[in-house]
A = this chain, B = another copy of it.
């Protein structure tokens, strides 16, 4: 196995959210990054953000160690063919959210699959474009790698090194397995979120005024860019359709059971809710641990500068590490509720410290 290492010179093709974020992460490690994008404005912004220099037109004097093809799924194969023809780099990877179709297209086009290792960093945002890019986007996230049997060990080592340089965890997975997995944990939930949000278009303001945190969470990713997502869904159509059909069936059955109204029918609906509990509990939590492992300490706070600093200072003095924070603001009121997630054994100590300093900590 070739040694992993940080590439010295990388070309990033496509300066959207993912490409620019990779470039920024590499720049922080001192890697030389050359950027290219057919959208001149996106390229200019990425350069201005310090993601690297624009790739000169024409062939480069010397191939880079790695070319990252950060383009939509449908463009991966042709972009790879073009890059290899130009001799852009000695190893190639992509970042597309689907793997099987682009790999099949690359083989069909006659791309050199010894130097290509397909990849997919599991990170993103409902925002897109270089302006939303961050060098820390991949910190601690999984980064799927799908090397074919043809892939040279040196290429696998280089692409694995890229994932690690970005702070991600490389996960080797077979392309078809990858596509079925992301259909389940990303692509289909995306369409479902959109379908729930789509129902709100016809609602009146009174109904929307009764919205709580639940519908906000369920529909957050419905704010994503449709142009980006239609490409992803089209390239992973069968696995996504399988999941959507199963969800549609469960919902149609639940609707019909609710109309039935019998106790037996209600028991079947309750069974769906129980399966939901079971499925939800299988998602790994932050720090890879159990999500329910933290205790939540609520604090009522005035919504003004400096208040949070004093609370976190008190936590520091008590030697308590805050694992997570959420703020629930009160619409139209200068008050909020801060929820501090901490290790269970630290919860009482933190609550006591905050109460001693005059904050309202219910419980």
Contacts and interface: CB of A to CB of B under 8 A. Distances in A.
A117 interface: no
Interface in A271-304: 272-284, 286-288, 298, 300, 303-304
A305 B321 contact: yes
A315 interface: yes
Nearest to A325: B325
Interface string A190-218: 11111111111101101111111011111
Contacts of A229: 273
A323 B316 contact: no
A314 B24 CA distance: 25
A192 B192 contact: yes
A290 B227 CA distance: 23
A277 to B, nearest CB: 6
A184 B209 contact: no
Helix, strand, loop or mixed for chain A's interface?
helix
Nearest to A331: B288
Contacts of A279: 196-201, 219, 222
A333 B247 contact: no
Interface in A218-263: 218-224, 226-227, 229-230, 233-234, 237-238, 240-252, 254-256, 258-259, 261
Interface of A: 24, 49, 122-124, 133-136, 139-142, 144, 167, 169, 171, 173, 177-178, 180-182, 184-186, 188-201, 203-204, 206-212, 214-224, 226-227, 229-230, 233-234, 237-238, 240-252, 254-256, 258-259, 261, 266, 269-270, 272-284, 286-288, 298, 300, 303-316, 319-333, 335-337, 360, 362-363
